[in-house]
Amino acid sequence: MHKNFKIIIWAAVLALGVSAVSAIALNRGESISAMWFIAAAACVYAIAYRFYAAWIAASVLVVDATRATPAERLEDGRDFIPTNKWVVFGHHFAAIAGPGPLIGPTLAAQFGYLPGTLWILIGAVLGGAVQDMVTLFFSTRRNARSLGQMARDEIGPIGGAAALIGTFLIMIILIAVLGLVVVNAMKHSPWAASTVATTIPIAMLVGFYMRNFRPGRVLEATTLGVMLLLLAVVGGGWIDHQPTLRGWFDHDGLSLAWMIIAYGFAAAVMPVWLLLAPRDYLSTFVKLGTVILLAIAIIILQPQVHMPALTQFVDGTGPIFGGKLFPFVFITIACGAISGFHALIASGTTPKLLANERDIRMIGYGAMLLESFVAIMAMIAATVLEPGVFFAINSPAGVVGKEAVDAIAKINSWGFAVTVEQMNQLANDMGETSLFARTGGAPSLAVGMASIFGNAFGKGMLAIWYHFAIMFEAIFILTTLDAGTRVGRFMLQDMLGNIWPKIGQTSWMPSVIFTSGLVVAGWGYFLYIGVIDPNGGVNILWPLFGIANQMLAAIALCVATGILVKSDKLNFAWITGLPLVWLIIVTSTAAWQKIFSEDIRVGFFAAANDLSTKLAAGVLSPDKAAVAPQLIFNQQLDAYLTMFFVAVLWVVIIDMLYVTYKYLAGESRLPLTEVANEPSRLVENLVRD
């Protein structure tokens, strides 16, 4: 293409991007078209990918297309396989994009649409995508070693241990909060509960098909499974209308929590082919399909965003979770902007498939941009709702009151119009008895998605769309739950195996049951507390998860910054150093506030003390007094856990600073562990393609 023509195109993209971002940022009208969000995101991503990511790949990392990757050098036909870049992209994206980017933005919408949207865009292009890309690159240059191994090799044993323990604890908190989200979506909803329950035998059927009936025919089995899933959504509606059947699936939160705990244990002990693997196929297909459908629907419908740019809750008084805009918007939206968990996929798993270093930009940076776009769509789906409706669905009963009338009065007093009739009508349209206090983000996202799908593809099926959206979220939340419990079990077996080698044998059944039991008990405890907490539990667990996830991101960025300095690229170390400094500020401030704040909706100790005082004074209602001792203990535990996270983070930072200081002072302690250059044999073939 002619050079001038390219310049004109990019100037146009820049101009459109600037006007879209300004339109979003400066709009103070009643509503704004969601197309501005899509345009802003597309332009920001295009410019960042074309210029920033390309510059990092070419000038900082210096990717070498002629160098053999681990997939080529260590090819074994099973784990290490040089693979087409689109296929690797698909695997990588399916692995990194879980429920996180859907839930975080929905919760953060309490501050208004603007803070979350800006953080998703800026955080992704300068933080998250850079983290994923450099981690992928460094792991590729180190025989696809995991983040923990790289931390140990390049920074020291403390960094390695910190990454390991950090990962394990995040897994526990993440599973608990995801379990809570599913429970809140199924609570007293026979339709949702029966649909989600049916996904279990469907997955098993698909598992049998792939294992015994037609071994390895993944596509056939998955197609069958997806059709059955759609039937299950419709079937759930039928069950909902059968007076006896519906009673079987009508449960309160606590019973559902116990069921999830029992299910989680069973899924972790069962062989992978029976439940985990087939469920993962189904969830990946449904997830990709729904995300594409949502993008098409938003573009066709061009819905209006009704949430204001900023709400009064930036002062920290928000109903969904307590805490000011800074730092809590940056903690609440982790996945979608920057997520430490991605570094675990980008190291270890993805490099084993990478055919050429040249693909690192597209896979590492590009997949994260796509995930960020999913987060933008979740933000749109949450903010197209009338703000009053959004707050009615997402505010816990402990904040707005148990009765519909009280909740509506409270929400109206904040200046958001909504009526009891409106909420009843909405619940009726969605095929639910009530939508009040369905915290956790999934139900409000489902209402938003149902209204977008309903408007774009026909309004008659709102209830079906709603339950489809619930099924879509539940199925991959349950996949994360199964897979996470399993990984937690392996990690625990590995750690305990150092003390008692027998327990480290991953197939020894007593060890499997014992360690799975411990992992399930860990997240089950937090899930149980979350369910009995009248404030909904999400307000405690989600920030804890955010802090933990950002801590892991900071560890990954520490490793990357350390390697950059040790590779004599001090001048470029800011590409990971800058997001690292920002994360350190955000995580440390948030942790400080969660531990020491006097505000009982923010500080863990303040909340525990407040509850103890009230309990001692006898001013609590009997049902609240009954659970108070457990809640007090939990708040204190959460405070110590937060302290532990921050301590781990700072230990790794100091370790990294020490290693880089030593290097710069000329006393290299830990040499780079990059594998020697070996020319690729595949390059010629690739060029010919």
Compute the least distance from the CB of residue 303 to another protein, in Å. 27
CA–CA dist 610, 593 (Å, integer): 16
Number of neighbours of residue 240 by Cβ within 10 angstroms: 23
Nearer to another protein, 348 or 388 (CB): 348
Residue type at position 117: T
Compute the least distance from the CB of residue 335 to another protein, in Å. 5
Nearer to another protein, 162 or 659 (CB): 162
Nearer to another protein, 269 or 627 (CB): 269
Query: What single string gives the DSSP state of each residue in 323-382?
Result: S-HHHHHHHH--TTT--THHHHIIIIIGGGTB--GGGHIIIIIIHHHHHHHHHHHHHHHH
Compute the least distance from the CB of residue 482 to another protein, in Å. 9
Q: How many CA atoms lie within 13 A of 402 on its CB side?
A: 1
Q: 75: which residues sit within 8 A by CB, 6+ positions away?
A: 81, 82
Cα dihedral across residues 680, 685, 686, 687: positive or negative = positive
β strands within 556-684, DSSP E:
none
Nearer to another protein, 216 or 243 (CB): 216
Nearer to another protein, 387 or 522 (CB): 522
Angle subtended at Cα 618 by Cα 617 and Cα 623, rounded to the nearest 5 degrees = 145
Compute the least distance from the CB of residue 445 to another protein, in Å. 15
Nearer to another protein, 164 or 437 (CB): 164
Residue with tokens 């983000």: 441
- DSSP H or E run through 490: helix 462-497
Compute the least distance from the CB of residue 329 to another protein, in Å. 18
Query: What single string gives the DSSP state of each residue in 155-168?
Result: T-HHHHHHHHHHHH
Give yes or no for a contact between 356 and 680, defined as CB atoms under 8 angstroms apart.
yes
CA–CA dist 106, 446 (Å, integer): 11
Angle subtended at Cα 218 by Cα 213 and Cα 221, rounded to the nearest 5 degrees = 60
Q: Where are the alpha helices (DSSP H) in 155-217?
A: 157-186, 190-208
Nearer to another protein, 96 or 631 (CB): 96
At residue 304, φ and ψ (nearest 5 deg) are -95, 135
Nearer to another protein, 229 or 483 (CB): 483
Cα dihedral across residues 269, 271, 275, 276: positive or negative = positive
Nearer to another protein, 297 or 554 (CB): 554
Compute the least distance from the CB of residue 341 to another protein, in Å. 4
At residue 679, φ and ψ (nearest 5 deg) are -65, 145
Q: How far apart are the first and last CA of the chain?
A: 21
Residue with tokens 């429970």: 183
Residue type at position 466: Y
Residue type at position 367: A
Nearer to another protein, 79 or 406 (CB): 79
Compute the least distance from the CB of residue 531 to another protein, in Å. 20
Cα dihedral across residues 171, 592, 182, 477: positive or negative = negative
Give yes or no for a contact between 599 and 607, defined as CB atoms under 8 angstroms apart.
no
Compute the least distance from the CB of residue 439 to another protein, in Å. 18
Structure tokens at 349: 């798993």
Give yes or no for a contact between 369 and 93, defined as CB atoms under 8 angstroms apart.
no
Compute the least distance from the CB of residue 162 to another protein, in Å. 16
Nearer to another protein, 179 or 348 (CB): 348
Compute the least distance from the CB of residue 67 to another protein, in Å. 21
| Cα 576 from chain centre | 21
Structure tokens at 485: 């419990």
Nearer to another protein, 349 or 394 (CB): 349
Nearer to another protein, 407 or 541 (CB): 541
Compute the least distance from the CB of residue 689 to another protein, in Å. 11
Structure tokens at 91: 């695997």
Compute the least distance from the CB of residue 147 to another protein, in Å. 10
Nearer to another protein, 486 or 566 (CB): 486
Q: Which of 315, 536, 562 is nearest to 444 (CA)?
A: 536
Compute the least distance from the CB of residue 671 to another protein, in Å. 27
Task: Please report, as ranges, the residues that interact with another protein according to CB under 8 A.
Answer: 75-79, 81, 83-84, 86-87, 90-91, 95-100, 146, 167, 174, 178, 210-212, 215-219, 222, 272-273, 276-277, 280-281, 334-335, 339, 341-342, 344-345, 348-349, 479-480, 483-484, 486-487, 490, 506, 545, 549
At residue 480, φ and ψ (nearest 5 deg) are -60, -40
Compute the least distance from the CB of residue 157 to another protein, in Å. 21
Compute the least distance from the CB of residue 552 to another protein, in Å. 10
Nearer to another protein, 330 or 341 (CB): 341
